[in-house]
């Protein structure tokens, strides 16, 4: 007999059997490997293949994780956008390192990337902000992200004020809102396999900017 406060999840399991991953299949460049897997995820996933869990550290070195949307990938790294006054932004100011975890259930694949974090340029943030739906642009001004509020009425009141303020005008990017880029130092590509004997390969960036590739035990 189990307590009402106990969740017995011992029998929640699945067998992974949708693919395998071999060394000879991997690109030497992890960015190219990621692009290939992301393309597969775009075709296979029903919702938001760019969902990614971003993890940061607070001043007590306690980890914090949350899901954001990946909004860019270039030869330097992975880009997402947020409020620079948010909890994660304050953590990155003190500890400019982080990790991203992608999980594509339909493919039974996971990618983990870790490295340093830096703000993107003002021009990059401006260019992306201009592509956002107007409601999201207003929302960036409305929300003092991560701060305590009295209720949704506070948000709706501020939203109405800003919609009036910017009626028939272009909504500018708030100075407290912009992007971060994760500059990878390590990638791990994980492919689910039967009996929990998963395929795992990591790429570690070397001093000469090449990548060491090695298989990990599951």
Q: Which two tokens stand for residue 150?
A: 């009295």
**Distance (Å, rounded) from C-alpha 95 to C-alpha 69?**
21
Instruction: Compute the chain's Rg from CA coordinates.
Output: 20
User: Catalytic one among 196, 200, 205, 215?
Assistant: 196
Count other C-beta atoms under 10 Å from residue 34's C-beta. Answer: 20
Give the CB-side neighbour count of residue 177, counting CA atoms within 13 A.
20
Is 196 part of the annotated catalytic residue set?
A: yes
**Distance (Å, rounded) from C-alpha 207 to C-alpha 210?**
7
User: If you ran DSSP here, which 8-state letter would residue 2 be given?
Assistant: -
Q: Which residues does the annotation mark as catalytic?
A: 196
């Amino acid at each position: 007999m189990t307590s009402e406060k106990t969740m017995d999840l011992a029998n929640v399991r699945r067998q992974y059997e949708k693919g395998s991953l071999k060394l000879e299949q991997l690109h030497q460049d992890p960015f190219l490997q990621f692009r290939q897997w992301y393309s597969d995820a775009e075709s296979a996933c029903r919702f938001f293949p760019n969902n990614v869990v971003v993890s940061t550290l607070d001043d007590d070195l306690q980890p914090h994780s949350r899901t954001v949307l990946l909004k860019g990938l270039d030869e330097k790294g992975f880009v997402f956008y947020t409020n620079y006054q948010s909890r994660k932004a304050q953590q990155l100011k003190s500890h400019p390192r982080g990790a991203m975890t992608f999980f594509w259930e339909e493919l039974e694949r996971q990618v983990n990337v870790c490295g340093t974090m830096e703000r993107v340029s003002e021009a990059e943030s401006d260019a992306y902000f201009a592509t956002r739906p107007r409601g999201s642009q207003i929302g960036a001004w409305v929300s003092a992200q991560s701060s305590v509020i009295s209720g949704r009425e506070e948000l709706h009141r501020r939203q109405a004020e800003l919609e009036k303020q910017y009626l028939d005008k272009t909504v500018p990017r708030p100075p407290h809102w912009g992007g971060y880029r994760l500059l990878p130092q390590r990638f791990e590509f994980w492919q689910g396999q039967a009996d929990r004997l998963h395929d795992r390969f990591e790429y570690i960036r070397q001093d000469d900017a090449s990548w060491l590739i090695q298989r990990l035990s599951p």
